[in-house]
Amino acid sequence: MKHEEKKEGNGSTVMQFVLLGFSDLPNLQGFLFVLFTIIYMIVLIGNSLIIIITRFDPPLRKPMYFFVSNFSSLEICYVSVTLPRILVNLWTQNRSISVLNCGTQMCFFLMLGATECFLLAVMAYDRYVAICNPLHYPLVMNQKMCIQLAVGSWVSGIPVQIGQTCQIFSLHFCDSNQINHFFCDIPPILRLACGDTSVHEISVYVVAMLFGAVPFMLILASYSKIISPILGLPTAQGRAKAFSTCSSRLLVVLLFFGSATISYLRPKSNHSVGIDKLLSLFYTIVTPMFNPMIYSLRNKDVIAALRKLLLKK
């Protein structure tokens, strides 16, 4: 692949990148294309169904399902930032991407990733209020509050992530234009930069703590408060069902935050390409695939609404 660059002073600026993706697995290109296509369809269909039934089924017009609907919309956008490009690269074997498109992909990925962190925290807080303060729940989680929390989750990360993307792409990339990753993420981009990138790495750590560690701690705090009321449930069956729901949600949260945290908070010198790709698969593809089932499709009200919708059809 041609290495496009322009000279600028004593260095050079890359004009085009090459996403190597899964090129180190030449015999699995067809299999990976089919696999990722199936995953993308699962994400689109599962989340679209949730959006439809929470929008049109009256019993589901509650704060919890309002956030679930927002979360499903987010997952569609979040996965669509990376997976279509992966599929095109696998199908055409043309892995080049312009700097502008690479920066745009990174920016939207970071913004939607920040939204996911905050929205997961909001959903955990919603369950905390519903279980620990049921009498005050309608007052606390009123329509105005729900809209404010949802809008805040969507927009709060936009200025910071735009600024971080501009900061990353202000660097000079003069060693190589080959990104050994399947999308434009910060760690593999920083590996291509010339000169000292310690300031940028610190910036990444600070933003990762702000948008990752803080929401994660709020989620853990919410679920820790929920445990006591669950233990007080009168039947063993009720306790088992509640623990099953909480544990499955916490598992997905741990996968998402854990894989992303390791990727972004490890020192640049400790990064391994293979491990980075594996971790990225978890927070970009695997957890979004399971989220519709974990957060909605195991819920009896959602199943009833889905059955009603299918019977109408």
The CATH number of the domain holding residue 240 is: 1.20.1070.10
Residue 10's pLDDT is what? Answer: 44
Inform me whether the pLDDT recorded for 148 exceeds 50.
Answer: yes
Inform me whether the pLDDT recorded for 59 exceeds 80.
Answer: no
Q: Which of 170-174, 199-203, 265-269 has the highest mean pLDDT?
A: 199-203
Inform me whether the pLDDT recorded for 200 exceeds 80.
Answer: yes
Inform me whether the pLDDT recorded for 256 exceeds 60.
Answer: yes
For tokens 């039947």, the residue is 235
- DSSP code of residue 21: T
Round to whole Å and give the CA distance between 17 and 173: 10
Residue 231: C-alpha distances to residues 113, 123, 227, 239 (Å): 33, 21, 6, 6
Half-sphere exposure of 197 (CA within 13 A, CB side): 22
Cβ atoms within 10 Å of 292's Cβ, excluding its own:
23
Contact 95, 89 (CB under 8 A): yes
Confidence of residue 267 (pLDDT cuts 50, 70, 90): low
Q: Which of 27-41, 124-138, 220-234, 272-286 has the highest mean pLDDT?
A: 27-41
Query: Within the chain, where are the H helices?
Result: 29-56, 63-92, 99-132, 137-140, 143-155, 158-168, 186-192, 198-208, 214-231, 236-265, 273-281, 287-292, 300-312
Residue 103's pLDDT is what? Answer: 93
Confidence of residue 271 (pLDDT cuts 50, 70, 90): low
| Overall domain count for the chain | 1
Q: What is the DSSP string of 226-281?
A: HHHHHHT-SSHHHHHHHHHHHHHHHHHHHHHHHHHHHHHHS-GGG--HHHHHHHHH
**Which range among 40-54, 181-195, 231-245 shows the weakest confidence by mean pLDDT?**
231-245
For the segment 19-33, what is each residue's pLDDT rounded down to a tens digit?
A: 988 888 888 889 999
For the segment 153-181, what is each residue's pLDDT rounded down to a tens digit?
A: 999 999 999 999 999 998 888 767 888 88
Round to whole Å and give the CA distance between 4 and 197: 22
**Which range among 119-123, 184-188, 270-274, 301-305 shows the weakest confidence by mean pLDDT?**
270-274
Residue 241's pLDDT is what? Answer: 66
For tokens 């930032």, the residue is 81
Task: Write down the pTM of the prediction.
Answer: 0.88
Contact 105, 77 (CB under 8 A): no
Residue 192: C-alpha distances to residues 151, 226, 288 (Å): 36, 45, 29
Span 132-139, average pLDDT:
89
Residue 177's pLDDT is what? Answer: 85
Percentage of the chain exceeding pLDDT 90: 35
Three-class SS state of 225: helix
Round to whole Å and give the CA distance between 269 and 146: 43
Question: Which range of residues forms the domain containing residue 141?
Answer: 5-312
Length in residues, the chain? 313
Nearest CA to 84 out of 279, 284, 287 is that of: 284
Residue 134's pLDDT is what? Answer: 86
For the segment 60-74, what is each residue's pLDDT rounded down to a tens digit?
A: 888 888 998 999 999
